Structure 1
Amino acid sequence: MAFNNTTPRARLASMQDGALRGAILVGVGLAVGQVMAYLLSLVAARSLGPDGYGVFGSMLALLMVGGVLALGIQAAGAKRVVLAKPHGRSSAGSGIVRWSLSAALGIAIATAVVSPAVTWLLHLDGPWLVILVALNLAPFTVGGSLLGVAQGREAYARLAAIYAVIGIGRAIGGIVIVVVTQSLIWTLVGMAIGTWVAVAACWLLAKPLVNWPGEKLANFRLEVFHATHALLALFVLTNLDVLLARHFLTAEEAGLYAVGAVVTKIAFWLPQFVATIAFPRLTDHRRAATLTKGALAVVLIGTASVAFVALFPSFVVAFIGGSAYEELVSEIWIFAAIGASFALAQFLLYSQIAASKRGAIVVLWIAAALLIGLVIAFHASVLQIALIVLGVALTLSLVGLVELFFERSKEGRVAQYAN
């Protein structure tokens, strides 16, 4: 008989080292995807010209909205895999992938059905661009299931690789075609082909984690719905300010705000790897310790990003927008603070999804309504709108932290009573 002489402290250190390596790997994978998306936008802006790129930006926005379903499948799938019995995780994983195929078909058909309305709303020449968006959403949705399986199995190297491959495939497909053809339609075709090829490659990466054909997943559709609803509410809240600024400010001021919003997005996505790594641990017995450590990590990263922007505002503004946006220098740190605050809110939202709690969804929609009401009442300048958004973001994060505090206090009382 073999004995395990590893001490509890050594096992804990090993798990912490594994989590750290996983965080680095996933952070790199996410960064690769973000950089490739930025390169695609940069090349498209130069190749399509202002008018064409304006339409392309609208199509990217549609992809982001439709892509929330993939995020919901990823979150619900990761949770289902974590909670499955060890011998059933491969079957659960393949069931998730199989379910995503029908979801991909569904969102593609739904997007195509509403294409005439979207065409009218965005003043497009025809429905073909929206239909091509539908063809892009289908593989992206399947990719969400592969990410969920790898995330739930805590296979961080595979998870990072899937993030990177999907980002590279979609971007390369679009970049090559837009440079060669300078056609918006063919660019979306190239992105769709690149994404399908990338997802096929990612299936090979995820294949060792699944056991085909897999099991039927009871109530999985409902779990995906709740996760998608929560993430959609967060998506709406974190993108409202740019739309409101566009509506209420002058064209020049709206441009200034849009540059500030880029800093917001960077600060928002910087700690994303923390939630990605923490999510499986927020689902099982490791939840209590992970909540505190994860929230602290997000706060520290957010504080560092705000401090950097506050110390080097001129550099940040010049790097993001150029010399034409110099008047934003004194206010740019506020946008970093907005992103950092929403990043904490995002982590706390994932902790709610992991625990099957629904209250956060209501809070998010209330925050969105509050933001709209305040900006309607006060919109005299870029600074005024930014301060309102910061106030809402900080309040939302504070509400989440208070809920976290009460959860930990309740767990402490239960443990004390049990002892």
Structure 2
Amino acid sequence: MTAFRLILKKVSPEQLFMGSVLLVNGGNYLYNLLLGRILGPEAYADAALLVTLLLVFSFLGMTFQLATTKFAVLFSGNDWESFLNRTYKQAIAVGIFVAAVFVYFAKDLQELFHTSSPYMFVALGFGIPLYFVMSVNRGTYQGRQDFNLLSITYQTEMWSRLLITLAFVIFSPWDPGISVALGIAFSFLFGLIPSNFKGISIGRPSLLAKPLALNVNRFMVLTLGYEITQIIINNSDVLMVKHYFEAGEAGLYASLALIGRVVYFVAWMFVMLLLPAVVQKEKNNEATTPILFRYVGYVGLLSVSIITTCYFFPELIIQLMFGEAYVSMADLLWQYALATALFAIGNIFTYYFLSLDRYVPVIISGLLGLSQIAGISLLHRSLEQVVHVQIGIMLLLLGSQLLFFILKKG
């Protein structure tokens, strides 16, 4: 026990957070793998749709989390308290609105995505407001660089979702989609552990000075715009495949997407560390590009390793993770990993510029995100064609971000 404590003392909060993110990603993969094996490709298609919607919420929630992160560095005293009260109110309002949309349009969503039940959307909807509150809470810890508490919130959310969902799927008589939705919704509640709502009063009017409020609004609107492009680029393929293809093929593609996105999920760890560090260095008039190059190097090395592994051992990877029923996706595995890697590296550049209040890369990402939707809408004769469209768009995305960086630094 003493040796364990000595080891922990030598581990920095950033290293602890990175280890925690890897554990969370591993837990999320275990969650999906178990569902894929228990449910089979057709039923897993509904579960994968819910997981994809969870990713959509995570991007919307990042608008609040990133804004809170940035202004936790820049604000203090009454300004910080006013900002936090204001942001919690906005998060709750947006959460209630999104939840109402899911509940009201549940049957329409069932028809759009060909799911077995509309009530999975209703069950998921009731948990949505908690997710946005959780995002503000996490942004506070991230901005203050309190990576220990930030790590705990991700752990509590992931483990509760894993255990509760499996309990519902195995022991309840409900449709699997409803069971998965309830597991996700309950996990948002556990993700609020730990929280610090001291001094928060939702009924208190905002006292943030007008120039500061305008600065906050501009950052949040532009960040929301970028997060919407993230939703489009990172999730539209799974949603469109669910719409255009049969349930079995959609389930197979969902397994491919889950494995291929491993590089993106790990890269997200570096984005979480990048933003507050860049804002702080910019505030102190210090050079920021060394941080960018460091994280791009990490993600690039990781990408090459994963793509190479997927190229040489695709069948083994799929059989180990999902089983024999999914092995027909083996030939596409390295190609999907390539598309995700290009997106992950380009994403590092975009968040770097976003943290410096440079928004042209956000606009570029938005245009290419729409191009991806248009491309898949026109070219979806096969799952292979869907993947090839994404590789082309992601090459354009990374190339444009590199060109913008060179022009700005030239």
Normalising by the smaller structure, the TM-score range is: 0.7 to 0.9
Residue of 259, 263, 279 corresponding to 1:263: 259
After superposition, what is the alpha-carbon deviation per residue over 1:258-295, rounded to whole angstroms, capped at 9, x for unaligned?
43322222122122111111111222425232222222
Equivalent pairs, count: 383
2:106 pairs with 1:118: yes
Q: Which amino acid aligns with 2:194?
A: C
Q: Which residue number in structure 2 is paired with residue 413 of structure 1?
A: none
Distance of 1:315 and 1:187 partners within structure 2: 27
Distance of 1:41 and 1:92 partners within structure 2: 39
Distance of 1:93 and 1:188 partners within structure 2: 34
Distance of 1:66 and 1:174 partners within structure 2: 18
Distance of 1:376 and 1:176 partners within structure 2: 38
Residue of 203, 214, 231 corresponding to 1:235: 231
Q: How much has 1:306 moved relative to structure 2?
A: 1.4
Distance of 2:381 and 2:89 partners within structure 1: 48
Distance of 1:259 and 1:175 partners within structure 2: 18
Q: Taking structure 1 as reference, are residues 379 and 138 closer, same or farther at Cα in structure 2, changes over 3 Å only? A: closer
Q: Which residue number in structure 2 is paired with residue 358 of structure 1?
A: 359
Q: Which residue number in structure 2 is paired with residue 196 of structure 1?
A: 189
Specify the structure having the higher radius of gyration (Cα). 1
2:89 pairs with 1:96: no
Q: Which amino acid aligns with 1:398?
A: G
Q: Which has the higher contact order (CA 8 A, sep 6+)?
A: 2
Q: For the Cα contact (< 8 Å) 1:23–1:273, is it kept in 2?
A: no
Residue of 161, 166, 170 corresponding to 1:175: 166
Q: Could you tell me which runs of 5 or more consecutive residues in structure 1 were left unpaired when the two chains were aligned.
A: 1-17, 410-419
Which region of structure 1 is more displaced relative to structure 2, 240-249 or 73-82? Answer: 240-249
Distance of 1:62 and 1:34 partners within structure 2: 17
3-state SS, counterpart of residue 195 of structure 2: helix
Which region of structure 1 is more displaced relative to structure 2, 248-257 or 387-396? Answer: 248-257
Q: Taking structure 1 as reference, are residues 70 and 380 closer, same or farther at Cα in structure 2, changes over 3 Å only? A: closer
Q: Which residue number in structure 2 is paired with residue 274 of structure 1?
A: 270
> Pairwise mapping of residues 12-411 of structure 1 onto structure 2 (< 5 A)?
21-42=12-33, 54-84=45-75, 88=76, 92=80, 95-96=83-84, 99-113=87-101, 115-123=103-111, 128-183=119-174, 185=178, 188-189=181-182, 191-199=184-192, 201-204=193-196, 216-217=207-208, 218-219=213-214, 220-245=216-241, 256-284=252-280, 285=282, 286=286, 287-409=288-410
After superposition, what is the alpha-carbon deviation per residue over 1:22-48, rounded to whole angstroms, capped at 9, x for unaligned?
443223322333344344445556777
After superposition, what is the alpha-carbon deviation per residue over 1:288-327, rounded to whole angstroms, capped at 9, x for unaligned?
3222222222222212221222233332232234334545
Q: Taking structure 1 as reference, are residues 318 and 130 closer, same or farther at Cα in structure 2, changes over 3 Å only? A: closer
Q: Taking structure 1 as reference, are residues 232 and 182 closer, same or farther at Cα in structure 2, changes over 3 Å only? A: farther
Q: How much has 1:98 moved relative to structure 2?
A: 5.8
Q: Which residue number in structure 1 is paired with residue 6 of structure 2?
A: none
Q: Which amino acid aligns with 2:172?
A: T
Q: Which amino acid aligns with 1:203?
A: S
After superposition, what is the alpha-carbon deviation per residue over 1:340-391, rounded to whole angstroms, capped at 9, x for unaligned?
1111122122113212233223212321333344445544544343233112
Q: Taking structure 1 as reference, are residues 317 and 156 closer, same or farther at Cα in structure 2, changes over 3 Å only? A: same
Q: Taking structure 1 as reference, are residues 119 and 93 closer, same or farther at Cα in structure 2, changes over 3 Å only? A: farther
Q: For the Cα contact (< 8 Å) 1:342–1:397, is it kept in 2?
A: yes
Distance of 1:94 and 1:59 partners within structure 2: 35
Q: For the Cα contact (< 8 Å) 1:271–1:343, is it kept in 2?
A: yes
Q: Which residue number in structure 1 is paired with residue 3 of structure 2?
A: none
3-state SS, counterpart of residue 122 of structure 1: helix
3-state SS, counterpart of residue 202 of structure 1: coil
Q: Taking structure 1 as reference, are residues 106 and 346 closer, same or farther at Cα in structure 2, changes over 3 Å only? A: same
Q: How much has 1:116 moved relative to structure 2?
A: 2.7
Distance of 1:129 and 1:385 partners within structure 2: 27
3-state SS, counterpart of residue 127 of structure 2: helix
Distance of 2:253 and 2:116 partners within structure 1: 29
Distance of 2:291 and 2:17 partners within structure 1: 17
Q: Taking structure 1 as reference, are residues 34 and 172 closer, same or farther at Cα in structure 2, changes over 3 Å only? A: same
Compute the TM-score of the two structures, normalised by the length of structure 1: 0.78
Q: For the Cα contact (< 8 Å) 2:85–2:200, is it kept in 1?
A: no
- Sequence identity (%): 20
Compute the TM-score of the two structures, normalised by the length of structure 2: 0.79
Q: Could you tell me which runs of 5 or more consecutive residues in structure 2 were left unpaired when the two chains were aligned.
A: 1-8
Distance of 2:383 and 2:36 partners within structure 1: 25
Which region of structure 1 is more displaced relative to structure 2, 289-298 or 180-189? Answer: 180-189
Distance of 2:43 and 2:248 partners within structure 1: 21
Q: Which residue number in structure 1 is paired with residue 4 of structure 2?
A: none
RMSD: 3.4
